[in-house]
Amino acid sequence: MKEKLQRINLHKVPNHIAIIMDGNGRWAKGKGMQRVFGHKNALTAIRESADTASELGVKYLTLYAFSTENWNRPKLEVDALMSLLVNTLKKELPEFQRKNVKINAIGNLTSLPKNAQKVLTKVINETQDNTKITLTFALSYGSREEIVNAIKNISKKVVNNNLDIEKIDEKIINNHLYTFNLPDVDFMIRTSGEQRISNFLLWQMAYAELYFTDVLWPDFRKEHLFDAIIDYQNRERRFGKTSEQIETDE
Ligand code: FPP
């Protein structure tokens, strides 16, 4: 483990990591348990990833906790996920404060149960001045819905003569997304062997490096995040430029 850490260049860690935490159901099934058992065991992976990212100097970690499509799961599972969210946020608030973690949420938050909205608002407000890392939970999140929502809000401003159509640019669009206060994603990790983006941060991942691992989310630990970051650091991010240009930029 120490060897892996030594291979990481602490000056080049991704600023913003996004994770699709996949495989909880299969992990539980593999142990002959109900799917909810997998979600409960996902919490250790969340805690360890957030702690490790923070220690390495990652400034933003965004976790796909619940998609707009996840509402179609059996009610029992949806209810269990919502209680897990509420109980975890309540229980972890002192730890977020101690570790200087700022909590943020993106998604159609008004569709969450009232008690979840209430605890989220409380945790977001109480941690708003924390500065070590911003931990964002994507909840009832869908990237296409986010873009539709942004287009509607921008259009309203144009119709009301509060915005000149010629002024619409990438910055204006960014400012109308749920992620208006977050930088672009540098690195996206998906666990469980699936190689899809699944409607997650489509706009924000335009230039992100993508990393897929077979590890199921409840098994994801510090060493796996180290492996992912080592892989990221061995890539060359060209943003459409040539290798030679990148070398002279450095
Ligand atoms: C994907 O595994 C995981 C989810 C849809 C839910 C992730 C949510 C949590 C880990 C808990 C939320 C709580 C907090 C505190 C944010 P899957 O169920 O799709 O697994 P499968 O693909 O193996 O079926």
Give the pLDDT confidence of 156-200 residue by residue, as tens digits: 999 999 999 999 999 999 999 999 999 999 999 999 999 999 999
Atom of ligand 1 nearest to the CA of 45: 10
Active site residue 70: yes
Atom of ligand 1 nearest to the CA of 27: 23
Task: Give me the pLDDT at residue 182, please.
Answer: 98
Q: Which two tokens stand for residue 131?
A: 């500065």
List 70, 108, 130, 149, catalytic entry: 70
Active site residue 227: no
Question: Rounded to the nearest whole angstrom, what is the distance from the C-alpha of residue 24 to the centroid of ligand 1?
Answer: 5
Atom of ligand 1 nearest to the CA of 77: 18
For residue 228, is pLDDT > 90? Answer: yes
Q: Which two tokens stand for residue 24?
A: 């909880």
Mutate which of 20, 22, 215 for ligand 1 pocket (most atoms within 8 A of beta carbon)? 22
Q: What is the pTM of this model?
A: 0.96
Beta bridge partners of 20: 64, 190
Average per-residue pLDDT for the chain:
96
- Long-range CB contacts for residues 69-73, cutoff 8 Å, separation at least 24: 69/142, 69/199, 70/140, 71/111, 71/140
Written in H, E and C, the secondary structure of 82-132 is HHHHHHHHHHHHHHHHHCCEEEEEECCHHHCCHHHHHHHHHHHHHCCCCCC
Task: Please report the sign of the dihedral spanned by the C-alpha atoms of residue 7, residue 12, residue 13, residue 14.
Answer: negative
Output 239 or 211, whichever has higher pLDDT: 211
